[in-house]
A and B are shown apart, each in its own frame.
Chain A
Amino acid sequence: MTNVTETTTPVPAITAQKKKPSARPAGRRDRKITPWLFLIVPLALLGLFTYLPAANMLYYSFTTWNGFEATPKEFVGLDNYAAIFTRDDILPVFLVSVYYIGASFLQMAIALYFATLLSFSTWFQNLFKGILFFPSLINGVAIGFVFLYLFQPNGTLDGVLGVLGLGDLSQQWLGDPGVVNYSLAATSVWRYTGLNFVLFLGAIQSIPKELYEAADLDGANRWQQFRFIIAPGIKRIISLSFILAISGSLAVFEIPFIMTGGANGSMTFVIKTVTLGLGVFHKVGLASAMAVVLLIIVLLVTALQRRLVPDDKVDLS
């Protein structure tokens, strides 16, 4: 197992490189050009597929471009941005992300619970760990079909509820606009809890064992061990998962797209953006403005997280 407190702080590790003169003074020209020979392809790809799209997107967002014309012709200022917050078909997609944000909190709580449980010795420890983690490796389309089948009318879920004597709870899991987002968010919890769980477990297991022994000697109970040893030790990974959860919730695409295609009120921000910008609607300008808004929200959340939980190394030993 790698030491997580170490692997989780890549930034200082990279930037804090000591400037050491190379052993043999190479020719000045050689030293200036060589690194760029190694960097030219990666930088070209980075520019072409990350920075150029981001810049273009900002430019398109101020136009009514449809994607056919060679270049955008009509500039409309902030009209597209105004449309995002007034159009009846766009405003509700913000609300849909609330279901997924809620689901991601649930997912982190479940992951933390099982990570704590399995950090203590347990029968079949590796088996349970493997079972809980496996869903996060499965192909998204396969997961979509597995849950389409599960949620079928008179399908598996209704069958299980019947066996448990809860048959009255059966409903149109994917057909009812009041229920569909809960069903899809639950699918997302099933899919991603394992990944959170393994990250938390890795962080807990990198806490030195002596701390627990010392706590045992001092008569600390399990709750106190969690509160004063485990919680501070995994603060950083939790805050990181938190931001991944929020940006992930805003960028939900696969599960709802595969399962419902955004029907019955399950339309998400990204499905809407993709169908507007790349589908039959050809509203590249409006779709770009939506993508810019999403990007700004994600960057704000990241900045907020950096402010609230500074990137410090938690040193327990």
Chain B
Amino acid sequence: MTSRILLTFLKYLSLVVASVITLLPLGVVLIASLKSKNEFSNSGPFDLPVNLFNAENFVTAFVKGNMVQGLINTSFILVISLAGTIIIGTMTAYAIDRFNFRAKKLVLALFLIATLVPGVTTQVATFQIVNNLGLFNTLAAPIVLFLGTDIVSIYIFVQFMSSIPKSLDEAAMLDGANRWTIYWRVILPLLKPAIATVVIIRGIAIYNEFYIPFLYMPSQKLGTISTSLFRFKGPFGAQWEVIAAGTILVIIPTLILFLFLQKYIYNGFISGATK
């Protein structure tokens, strides 16, 4: 009996320790972001800020740190890439799941093998292609790269589509619908849950993406959330309270999304990572 109590105690102890290790690094950054410059240099990392509603650093980060531009650029890239991913991914899945054609196995193999090639390894050569297409230092560069290398979404769509009964297609076909109408009117609406999954996991990935915008859009005006924050390192190098505020600004949308969509995010990550 006592050993049972001891085990339960150890279980909760380890959970609490892990939670503290997870939250402490974030907590001290939040504290730092609320301090004035003077206050920051004269207090320790655990001393609470004098004014808990001091927004000064957030305003500096937002205005001087190019975060507004970053937010606009990231939103633009996000919307176009997600729309494109959904259209391309569902069309590919429709062709693969609902048609029989001679080279089907080859097409499948091409997509399968591509998942094994880590994108970051081929950047040296991809860079030359993007450059030759004239897309270097334009917002189109990350968009085409997100569209062209997103194979996980195709898998999610293929998997979900194989669970939609073929009799629905056949009924529509008997009513005289052509393949395009079936895709647009029958299949696409039924794919809503899969689309939601793709929007969530790709949305988070694109919002967090760093090296693609960093490599392909060095211009200040083309900063995204990630690259604008990264550029805090220069001008705000010694102002930790402003860097902290920028960091918190970037984390807040993720936290809000997570609190509202927890269940979908867990499921999305499980189906995304195991492809």
Contact = CB atoms under 8 A, between A and B. Distances in A.
A19 B170 CA distance: 15
B15 A34 contact: no
B124 A291 contact: yes
A257 B271 CA distance: 29
Most buried by A among B94, B114, B240, B274: B274
Contacts of A114: 14-15, 18
B129 A159 contact: no
B247 interface: yes
B101 A32 contact: yes
B208 A140 contact: yes
A29 interface: no
Contact of B22 (A31, A131, A152, A198): A131
Interface in A221-273: 237, 240, 244, 247, 251, 253-254, 257-258, 270, 273
- Chain B binding surface SS class: helix
Contact of A139 (B116, B155, B208, B269): B208
A42 B210 contact: no
A151 B28 CA distance: 12
Contacts of B179: 30, 34
A253 B183 contact: no
B166 interface: yes
B111 interface: yes
Given A45-B148, A142-B251, A22 B173 contact: yes
B269 A159 contact: no
A130 interface: yes
Contact of A145 (B123, B144, B229, B269): B229
B62 interface: no
Contacts of B92: 38-39, 42
B22 A237 contact: no
B262 interface: yes
Contacts of A11: 112
B270 A49 contact: no
B149 interface: yes
Contacts of B162: 13-14, 17
Shortest beta-carbon contacts, A-B, top 6? A49-B148, A45-B148, A277-B124, A38-B95, A23-B170, A35-B99
6 contacts: A30-B179, A128-B15, A128-B18, A270-B120, A274-B123, A284-B124
